A and B are shown apart, each in its own frame.
Chain A
Amino acid sequence: MTTSTASPPHSFSDRQRSSSRRRTLVSLTPLIDVVFILLLFFMLASSFTDLRAIALDAPVSGTGNASIEGALLVDVRLDGVRFAGRYIGLNDLVDTIRNRRADNPGLRVLVRPATRVSLQDTVRVLDALTVAGIDRIALMENPGKGRPR
């Protein structure tokens, strides 16, 4: 029978020996049980979808109509994207907007989706505008439409 646990430790090596003896007595199994449960919880509760965000301006900010003037209007319709009075492909839209932006770096663009256009199509246009370098994009309500239900 040893006396190391009963008597106060006299030297560093003595204390170290007693703690190493205690460590062998503690079983790892309950720890692993708890860790497994934590692991299961985090595996089931966490989601890995990579969410992104698009910042949207207000189409009419406090300055009133001044913010609409000088802004470009892009219409998204069921049959295509309309800009400056004609239908235009997304690649042409990027080129055109990029040219306009070269003249006017603080350019604002309003995007106006028509009724029944899906949000995915609208976001595709927003992406094209972002690629063209526009950072002030606003979504605008279709004037021909009343309040939502």
Chain B
Amino acid sequence: MHFSRNRQSQRNGDEAILPLTNVVFLLLIFFMLAGRLAAPEALDIQPPSSVSESAAESAGLEVQVAADGELALDGEHLTLDALKTQVRQRLNARPDTPLRLKADGEGDASRVVAIMQELREAGAEKLRLITVAADS
């Protein structure tokens, strides 16, 4: 008798947090599906906003250009020459790799274009400029 009453109270305790568990599970699933895991970034970059419709794919290499012109490849600081060497090596290893260029909106556009030109010389063919969706 005493044992069964004890078990009854424990069952009640478990059932009391079931709604909480449901909500937490829902939140978990929401964050797992809706959020993308962000890679740690070497530079603080605010990409320019645009009305472009095509979503950015996360595959391939990411070249980052900060507002002051600093460069990074996949979260690693580099000089322009080292960047070219690295990009050329990786493109030689896997030729069809798409390249994303994530540049700061405040940065100098002509420098970004010059870097694009250098990347093309290094063999990059699929180049995409990353922007954020305009909040309008």
Interface set of A (CB-CB < 8 Å, partner B)? 24, 27-29, 31-32, 35-36, 38-39, 42-43, 45-56, 58, 76, 113-124, 126-127, 130-131, 139-142, 145, 147-149
Q: Within B90-133, which residues are at the interface with A (CB < 8 Å)?
A: 100, 103-118, 120, 125-133
Q: Is the CB of A42 within 8 A of B110?
A: no
Main secondary structure of the interface of A (DSSP, over half): mixed
Q: Is the CB of A148 within 8 A of B111?
A: yes
For A149, list chain B residues within 8 Å (CB): 69, 80
Q: Within B23-52, which residues are at the interface with A (CB < 8 Å)?
A: 24-25, 27-28, 31-32, 34-38, 47-52
Known: A49-B132, A51-B130. A127 touches B51 (CB 8 A): yes
Q: Can you show 27 pairs from A to B with CB atoms below 8 A apart?
A: A29-B17, A39-B31, A42-B35, A43-B31, A46-B36, A47-B35, A47-B36, A48-B35, A50-B132, A52-B130, A52-B131, A53-B128, A53-B131, A54-B50, A54-B54, A56-B127, A114-B110, A118-B106, A119-B109, A120-B48, A120-B105, A123-B48, A123-B50, A126-B129, A141-B114, A141-B117, A142-B110
Complex alpha-carbon distance, A118 and B125, angstroms? 24
Interface set of B (CB-CB < 8 Å, partner A)? 7, 10-11, 14, 17-18, 20-21, 24-25, 27-28, 31-32, 34-38, 47-57, 69, 80, 100, 103-118, 120, 125-133
Cβ distance B120 to chain A, nearest Cβ, rounded Å = 6
Main secondary structure of the interface of B (DSSP, over half): mixed
For B131, list chain A residues within 8 Å (CB): 51-54, 123
Known: A38-B28, A42-B28. A117 touches B110 (CB 8 A): yes
Known: A42-B32, A50-B133, A148-B69. A76 touches B37 (CB 8 A): no
Residue of A nearest to B24 (CB): A35
- Which 9 interchain pairs have the tightest Cβ spacing? A46-B35, A113-B109, A42-B31, A120-B105, A47-B38, A51-B56, A50-B133, A122-B109, A53-B128
